[in-house]
Amino acid sequence: MSTLDISVSASSSANLPRRGRLTIELPDDPSDDDDDEVRPVRSSARARSKRQHPAVSYNEDSDGYAELYGDDQSTSAVLARRLQREEDEKFSAPRLPFSVKRSADKVSFAGDSETESLPDRSSTAKSKRQSSHNSLNGGLSPVSSYGPPRKRQKLSATKATGRGPATNRDVDDDDDDEVDDQGLGSISDDDSFDNLSPVSGSGTDDDDGSEGEDPINVPPPSRPNLLIRYRRRRAGNRAENDRLRLEENHPELKTMWKDLEMMSDLNAGTATQPTMISLQLKPFQLQGLAWMKAMEQTPWKGGLLGDEMGLGKTIQAVSLIMSDYPAKMPTLVLLPPVALGQWQDEIATYTGNRLKTIVFHGTNAKAKNLSAKELKKFDVIIMSYNSLESLYRKQEKGMKRKDGMYKEKSAIHQIKFHRVILDEAHCIKTRTTMTARACFALNVTYRWCLTGTPLQNRIGEFFSLIRFLEIAPYASYFCKECPCSTLEWSMSEDSKCRHCNHIAMRHVSVFNQELLNPIQKYGNVGQGKEAFRKLRLLTNRIMLRRLKKDHTNVMELPVKEIYVDRQFFGEEENDFAGSIMSNTERQFNTYVAQGVLLNNYANIFGLIMQMRQVADHPDLILKKSGEGGQNILVCCICDEPAEEAIRSKCKHDFCRQCAMSYLASQDEPDCPRCHIPLSIDLEQPSIEQDELLLKKSSIINRIKMENWTSSSKIELLVHELHRLRSDNASHKSIIFSQFTTMLQLIEWRLRRAGITTVMLDGSMTPAQRQASIKHFMEKPEVECFLVSLKAGGVALNLTEASQVFIVDPWWNPAAEWQSADRCHRIGQTRPCTITRLCIEDSVESRMVLLQEKKTHMIHSTINSDDAAMESLTPGDLSFLFRGS
């Protein structure tokens, strides 16, 4: 065989097609020994058709060079090994024009002709050694190529195409993932080699039989399109491989949705009336009781009772507790603080005081310092989410003491409960909060969630409920590399799983992968629509939801009407609101122009909060500080500046003389503000006024009320209440607001209008809240109940009221629905009217429109809808500021 010189310039190597590797076999030609002339390689069609030499097949082993060239240690063999290694470690570019010394008529691609086939793998090594040694035995000049290294590939049987010869690579299945991660292993043959093969018909000019006259024509591939196809296919293959590996380690994932579809709807029929429940249950409530008892017999041992507000979820839960009374272990009921007293009263009423209950709260002296052993003696333990979170935080993170951090075990978490019931379960909607984690950590046999609004803001909130109920496998995290499966995302500081020691990125959540991510990405089309179908399938199996409209006749509920009462700003208010709007819109436009809108959500919502407060009353912004205010104590009896001010145990201020007269006029006096039994020392020294505390106590103390001007919204509310008085009927009203300062201004104005009020806000203790509720329900002269939406918007039963006023709209429509249904529920006998006060041409009117967006998403729990609304989009924010 003759010597073959190949010279390739660095500049031209950038265009070399990767898979156009040539194996050139040249016969000996003595005339070429001293010929330094370099001529282009040419090949005719007839010459190509006569080739029968087997192609070289490279082994996958990294040490395959020894096998390729045998034990030959000659200079040419050493050089060939080095060049082959350099070539395989670099990624060549699309096109390489190269010229070689012409001395042969046989030039072949690997698997070049349609009829040519490669030898089987058993003879691969031998053919490689023979053909490679023959073709590369002479001196070779270095071949330069540029690009990232890639993994060497095996070449196997020829693939025939209509456009020309191509190469088909057979890669072992075990190395698929490795190849995809290293190079172009995921590009198909059609995508990669067709453009690199000689063009069909390129040798037709050689039909005269002349040899070596037409050059090999290798057209350049479309590099950008090739990379795009490669990246897409690589991502797709990687996802498919990850899924296959995941299902291999966790076989239950293969059939989880099919198993859910095959599971029939749980039709438990109707339960009999519980003998130990004094209240007669409605037929649909007995059906709910039967369903709950049947769900406790399933592997899930619990579920989600999602009846609409006012359908009697509490009585169904109490009936379930009595269904297996007495139990060996207690039942834990978790709820918002405002409902502590209500649950205790209803349990006592429905069961005839059969159940031994305790309210486990810091303000309850009986519950202080109770051990786990003492708590086990009770049938039902009632506590708030806040109390449970506090106990769990002390146990997990500890408390600061002078000598460092001190951890204290939670008595609640040391008990194995028979049953845990989460009332208003949407309170744990964010799974990463300490409240949700405290609930997840409970040791319990049967788990129940009660909520009329399973979703409030986003689809992801549903995961927290599934996680508490431990609905496997949908609540679990799975490792792709091993059978590790956990309910907790438990990773160490170096981001490795504490159970299997694999990295965090190799763990996935089925809920996120199968439901949340497709819905976020595709909405209600394609994969998103299929995810919605799966979500509804899951909710149908674990949740029972009934609506009022389906049981109106049985419940004997009166009609409920909802109105939006629109009002315009007054002249002075309009000027001030216009100024605030201009400033906030200017700041918003600055964020948009700088391209930092998404990085300033907190600041933007602060601007929106200002616009909302302006719509209520300008003083909510102007009087945030006490400068220029009256800064005086106000007596809770006479509503005038307190003379010789004294303070009660419940932290309310009185004139000394007013307090003495009030105590003397009643046998069992209660506080006129919070309505718990009044305890006050009449002999205490007069209180020295602390301006700082006064500023914090009430906005009334920060305003000179003798010069105070009301707002359009407050006057609209007063007008509506006076109109109700003219009906010659007693109407009780509930007034909800987001801002306690707004409630304080409304209270001051209504009292001046001769309307008796009572207030409930977040600063009150559970005892004070329960006393205020009782005072409103039992005193006919009390007309209005002022309630902070966050403190009293859920879990209250206020059927004495028939009118609800929502002073300011909220982002979350479900919160407003909860508020409206405080009065429209079982036990209501009068028609209910819900009035939403709204200032036209303000941010409030736009918020009402945006509420419809979340309304559709909330309904998607059961019905299909587009749910691409995880939060307010930049377009939504622009609409709030600009109105377009």
The model's pLDDT over 723-734, given as tens digits with 9 standing for 90+, comes to 888 776 678 999
* Cα–Cα dist 296/326, whole Å: 17
Residue 132 has pLDDT above 60, yes or no: no
Contact 268, 294 (CB under 8 A): yes
Q: What pLDDT is recorded for position 847?
A: 82
Contact 462, 861 (CB under 8 A): yes
DSSP characters for 215-254? B---PPP-HHHHHHHHHHHHHHHHHHHHHHHHHHH-GGGT
Q: What pLDDT is recorded for position 805?
A: 94
The 10s digit of each residue's pLDDT in 73-108 is 666 667 666 766 666 665 444 444 444 444 434 433
469: its two tokens: 């109920």
Q: Where are the domains of the chain?
A: 6-222, 261-399+411-472+509-550, 561-593+710-876
Topology match between the domains 261-399+411-472+509-550 and 561-593+710-876: yes
CATH architecture assignment, domain 561-593+710-876: 3-Layer(aba) Sandwich (3.40)
Decide which of 631 and 65 is more confident.
631
Q: Mean pLDDT, to the nearest integer, of 165-191?
A: 37
3-class secondary-structure state, position 269: coil
Residue 35 has pLDDT above 60, yes or no: no
- pLDDT classification of 445: cutoffs 50, 70, 90: very high
Q: Quick one: what percent of the chain has pLDDT higher than 90?
A: 24
* Cα–Cα dist 174/842, whole Å: 64
Cα separations in angstroms, 68 against 19, 71, 128, 418, 570: 19, 9, 6, 72, 92
3-class secondary-structure state, position 397: coil
Residue 427 has pLDDT above 70, yes or no: yes
Number of residues assigned to the chain? 884
* Cα–Cα dist 439/413, whole Å: 9
* Cα–Cα dist 384/336, whole Å: 5
Residue 154 has pLDDT above 50, yes or no: no
β-sheet bridge partners, residue 563:
835
Residue 570 has pLDDT above 70, yes or no: yes
* Cα–Cα dist 454/818, whole Å: 12
Q: What pLDDT is recorded for position 468?
A: 96
Residue 719 has pLDDT above 60, yes or no: yes
Residue 388 has pLDDT above 70, yes or no: yes
Q: Mean pLDDT, to the nearest integer, of 170-186?
A: 37
Decide which of 793 and 584 is more confident.
584
Contact 148, 93 (CB under 8 A): no
Burial of 570 (0-12, 13-18, 19+ CB in 10 A): middle
Residue 391 has pLDDT above 80, yes or no: yes
Domain at 261-399+411-472+509-550, CATH from 3.40.50.300, 3.40.640.10, 3.40.50.10810, 3.40.50.80: 3.40.50.10810
Q: Mean pLDDT, to the nearest integer, of 403-430?
A: 91
Average pLDDT, the chain: 74
Cis peptide before 165 (omega within 30 of 0): no
* Cα–Cα dist 751/635, whole Å: 13
Cα separations in angstroms, 693 against 626, 651, 699, 763: 10, 12, 11, 14
Lowest mean pLDDT among 100-104, 297-301, 878-882: 100-104
* Cα–Cα dist 623/604, whole Å: 21
Residue 48 has pLDDT above 50, yes or no: no
